[in-house]
Amino acid sequence: MKVLKHYYLWVVKVSEAQLEFIQTWGALGSSWGIPKSMAQIHALLLASKDEMSTEEIMDKIKISRGNANINLRELKNWKLVTKINKLGERKEFFQADHDIWSLAKNIVAERKKRELEPVLSFLAKMQSAKFVGNNEEIEHFKELVADLKDFVEQLDKLSELAIKFNDNIIFKKMINMMK
């Protein structure tokens, strides 16, 4: 028996695909706790081959100047976007880092700094605390803190490993081995 494969060509205008990408990235960002407009700006700059001015960003995403400025500043802090100065231009221009592996490393590094490190610091403080109260509750809480600290330390080590990967070929091979 011969099996025939059917391939369907999906034809979409690039502008429509970019708009859908921006909306989807915005929704994904929201589910990760990132402001929707910040994720949409990032998606717009990722989808754009060239740098864009603040005004162009505001026009495409339909946001205020204040919203654009706050989110562009935060994207620069995350090292996901670079400010470009053009000779003779008063406008500010921005461009996304288009290297997906670099982008992922920057996100992991920033989340590590903002999320894992404060939690580890808190858990270390809890481990060194002297608790008073019901002995069973104290033991239960100490065990919880120790288990959480161990888990977060493992996440921290994993994030460090991801950040230190210089050769993404090794990482890709590791991921493919897990399939």
pLDDT tens digit at each of 179 positions of the chain: 555 566 666 777 888 889 999 999 988 888 888 899 999 999 999 999 999 999 999 999 999 999 999 999 999 999 999 999 888 888 999 999 998 888 888 888 999 999 999 999 999 999 999 999 999 999 999 999 999 999 999 999 988 888 887 666 666 676 677 76
Q: Minimal CA–CA distance to 26: which of 45, 50, 48, 13? A: 45
Quote the DSSP letter at residue 53. Answer: E
Give the number of other Cβ atoms within 10 Å of residue 16's Cβ: 9
Q: Please tell me the predicted confidence (pLDDT) of residue 101.
A: 84
Q: Please tell me the predicted confidence (pLDDT) of residue 167.
A: 60
If residue 118 lies in a helix (H) or strand (E), which one and from where to where? helix 117-128
**Cross-strand partners of 74:** none
57 neighbors 68 (Cβ within 8 angstroms): yes
Supply the CATH classification number for the domain 14-96. Answer: 1.10.10.10
For the whole model, what pTM was predicted?
0.77
- Greatest Cα pair distance, the chain, in angstroms, is 75
Q: Minimal CA–CA distance to 43: which of 103, 116, 131, 130? A: 103
Locate the domains of the chain by residue range: 14-96, 100-178
Q: Please tell me the predicted confidence (pLDDT) of residue 58.
A: 97
Residue length of the chain? 179
